[in-house]
Structure formats: structure tokens, C-alpha cells
Structure 1
Amino acid sequence: MFKHHLNKHKLRLIVLGLASALLIAIASTATSIYFYGSTKSNFQADAAIVLGAAVWGDKPSPVFRERINHAINLYQNGDVSTLIFTGGVGTSDELAEAIVGKRYAVSKGVKASHILLETTSRTTYQNLQNASEIAAAYPLKKFLIVSDPLHLKRSVLMARNLGLDAHPSPTPTTRYQSLNSQLPFLMRETYFYFIYLIFKI
């Protein structure tokens, strides 16, 4: 009886220890994701890869617009010479995200000849995989990954695992500024970061 009670106590301690370790790992990862987005690459690259986001008809959503605006600023400041827009069609009645991004950038003065597109991706990994395939056909070696700050740790890891010399370039403005909007996004990114580490997708 005493031995049985002792075994149950040991099992309880093991479970508690594993749960504590998991919580520490999750909290540590979430913290690193949060602070990673404040990293800015203050150097020139060959191209900016703009990760896709939702479009509203023929216009970029507020989230996507801020990513495009940041990429335009990089281009106009001479930090990159090429923009690569990514993203396919969310619903059948919408334009591809990349096409909307290109049209917006051209309307702001970016030369169409300095823009490359991939229009079939539906996920962040596909964004980067397709962009890397397009970039391989050009003399593009170094890349800035443009997205919201909390999205960048996972995105840059993916890009580097795809063989890209990739560096974070977070949008200076984002709709995810308040705690109420940041927390769900951070939880989502932490979840997908672990999913990527396990399945590499």
C-alpha cells in the first residue's frame, strides 16, 4: 500500500515537472518571438520579400497595406532594388494578393520592372518557397523579409531553412499594437512556430 502511494506520488511529480517544462518552453518561445520583431536590419539587400496578407477586392487590407508601404520605403530609400510580392487568391472573387500588392506599389512610384510576383501560395511557407524559386532565376542573394513584427521569427527561420540569406524587416506600423490585439497574434505565432519546428511546413 505504501509502495503504491509512493509510485503515485512520483508519477504526479513527473507529470508536474513535464507540464512545468512545457510551460517554460512556451513562455520562452513566445518571449523570443515578441522581442525578435523589434530587430531591424540596417543594411542593404538585393530584394524585399513581402509576405502576403488579405485583400479586400482590388485593395490591400490594412495589414497588407502596411507591409507594402514598408517595402516601398525600403525601395525608395535604396535599401533594396527589387520587391517580391507573394500571395495567391483567398477567395474566388478576389485578385491574388501579390497582384494587388504590385498595383499598389506601382501607384506609389515603384517601377513595375523592379517587381517580381508569385501568385499561387496560400501559407507563409509557400510564400517563401515560391519566392525563393523566383529569386533563383535572378542575381538576388540577400533578402529582407517584410511582415508584421510578431510574424517574423517564424518567417525568417523558414526562409533561412530554404537556403535564403534572409533578415527581418518588421513593419514600423501595425494594427497589432494593443495588448488585446497582440496577445491572440502572439499565441497563434507561438503555436505555429512549434508546428513548424515539428513538421517543417
Structure 2
Amino acid sequence: MSVPTRRRRGADPPSEPVRGRGTPDAARMRRLGWPTRILIGGLLMVVAVVGTTALRVWQVARIDDQQPADAVVVLGAAQYNGEPSAILASRLRHAADLYSEGLAPRIVTVGGSQNGDRYTEAEASRDYLIRRGVPANAVEMVPEGTDTLRSLEAVAVLAEQQGWETAVLVSDPWHSLRARTMARDAGLDAWTSPTRSGPIVQTRETQLRYIYRETGALLFYELTHAPVDTATSEVG
């Protein structure tokens, strides 16, 4: 007859048999079907792409990489009967400062007109610069395009015709990355010098709204290489 063994005090109790493998989260994932796993993976990828793009928009907005160039290009925004909007005026003042510092021998103003307008954005911008003391022969107009892409493509055509190729783009901080991407795709060797004044940079709420907007616009452009419709927007 066998004698029962006595467990020593302090000895570990017998271990329970291990059931299943991995953590509870891993077990739940194994229970999900492949379509659900693919959907979750796709959503995570979308979140990562959007987040990375928003970070790039924010980073480039903080950089002023101005350097001597053939032209300072002022991207258009709304004008009212020949008078630049507050957004456009802040860009033009910054461009005038860059010209006065000798960064480039010319300023190029861009932008067409909406139905019913008497002036194009390029015309209103040129007149504003001349009133601020920029010589008339130092301002070139490209009165084409109601969006950033079409305007920059027209600037690239002008650059080729006149034999220059480098440009410093002046716009709002959050617009800088998309504008630079489009300019380089059009064949310009472009850098950015965003304005630090104007309505778009006044409040945190406005800044976040434009970062959100530019993130979507940049992703749309990178996917389609088409412009975002800005006919009703102050920002081209």
C-alpha cells in the first residue's frame, strides 16, 4: 500500500494545465475572421498615413527656408474689387519685405478671377505691391488659375519662357507643404517662406482648422494629382 507523500511547507502548489496560447488579446484576435483583420489593419494604416501627413504639414509650416532665387512667387487668395483680402495682403507684405532684402529680382503675383470680378487676384496683388513701393518693372503677373496647382503650372510656363527656374513661395504656413510639392512637380526648384501674420495664424482654433484642411488637400493631390476645388475658399 502506497503511503501518501506530505507536501513540504512553502512548496509551490501543483501548476494548473495551460489552456490556450498567448494573451487574452491575442486569443480574441485569433477568433476574428480574416476580413475583420484586414479591415482593422487598413484602418490603422489610414490613421498612420493621415497622422504622418498632418505632422509634415505642421513641420514645414514652421520652417522658413528662404534663399536667393530668381523670383518670389505670391500665391493668390481672395480680393474684393481690386483690394486684397486680409489673407492676401499679409502674403504681399511679406513678399515685399523679401524683395527689399534682395532675395530675388522679381515678384510674381498669381491668381485668376471668379465670375463677376473686375480684377484678377494677380492684378489686385500687383497694384498693392506697387502702392507699397515695389517698382512696377519688378512685378510680373500670372493672372491664371483659381487654385494653387493651375497657378503654379502657369508660373512654371512663365519661368521656362523667361529662362529662370528657382522660386521662393510665399503663402500661409499651413499651405507651404502642398504649394512646394505642386511647384516642384511643375518643374520649379522651389522653397517656402510663409507669412507669420494675417488671420490664419491668429488663433489655435484657426491653425488647427487649416492644418486639418491642408492635410486632406495634400493627400487628395498626392493620390490624384488634381487640384482641390477652392472656388469658394479664401485660400488657393
Tell me the TM-score normalized by structure 2: 0.79
Counterpart in the other structure of 1:145? 169
Contact (CA 8 Å) 2:66, 2:168: kept in 1 or not?
A: no
SS of match in other structure, 1:116:
strand
Counterpart code for 1:113: N
2:113 alignment partner, SS class: coil
Question: Residue 190 of structure 1: CA displacement?
Answer: 0.9
What is the SS of the residue equivalent to 2:161?
coil
Higher-Rg structure is 2
In 2: Cα distance, 1:140 partner to 1:73 partner: 21
Asked if residue 12 in structure 1 is aligned to residue 36 in structure 2, the reply is yes
More helix, by proportion: 1
Alignment of 1:52-131 (within 5 A): 52-131=76-155
| CA distance, structure 1, for counterparts of residue 117 and residue 184 of structure 2 | 34
Deviation at 1:7, TM superposition (A): 7.5
Structure 2 residue identity aligned to 1:121? G
Deviations 1:91-113 (A, max 9, x none): 31341000000000000111111
- Alignment match, 2:184: 160
Does residue 194 of structure 2 align to residue 174 of structure 1?
A: no
1: distance between equivalents of 2:76 and 2:218? Answer: 18
Structure 1 position 85, deviation (Å)? 0.4
Deviation for aligned residue 1:8: 5.0
* Amino-acid identity (%): 28
How many residue pairs match? The answer is 197
Gaps of 5+ in 2: 1-29, 227-236
Contact 1:56 1:94 (C-alpha < 8 Å) held by counterparts: no
What is the aligned partner in structure 1 of residue 50 from structure 2?
26
Q: After superposition, give the CA deviation of every residue in 1:156-190 in whole Å (9 maximum; x if it has no partner).
A: 01111111111111112132222211122111111
- Whole-Å Cα distance in 2 between the matches of residues 21 and 198 of structure 1? 15
Question: Is residue 195 of structure 1 aligned with residue 220 of structure 2?
Answer: yes
Equivalence for 2:211? 186
In 2, Cα distance between equivalents of 1:180 and 1:106: 34
Local SS of the residue matching 1:173? coil
Residue 133 of structure 2 aligns to a residue whose secondary structure is coil
- For residues 10 and 87 of structure 1, what CA distance do their matches in structure 2 show? 50
Q: Secondary structure at the match of 1:145?
A: strand
- State the Cα distance separating 1:193 from its structure 2 match: 0.6
What is the rounded CA distance, in whole Å, between the counterparts of 2:112 and 2:31 in structure 1?
A: 55
Q: Would the aligned equivalents of 2:74 and 2:92 in 1 still touch at CA under 8 Å?
A: yes
Segment drifting more, 21-30 vs 33-42: 33-42
Aligned equivalents of 1:70 and 1:162: distance in 2?
24
Mapped partners of 2:224, 2:176: distance in 1: 18
Which has the higher mean CA deviation after the structures are superposed, 179-188 or 77-86? 179-188
The CA distance in 1 between the partners of 2:79 and 2:118, in whole Å, is 7
| TM-score, with structure 1 as normaliser | 0.92
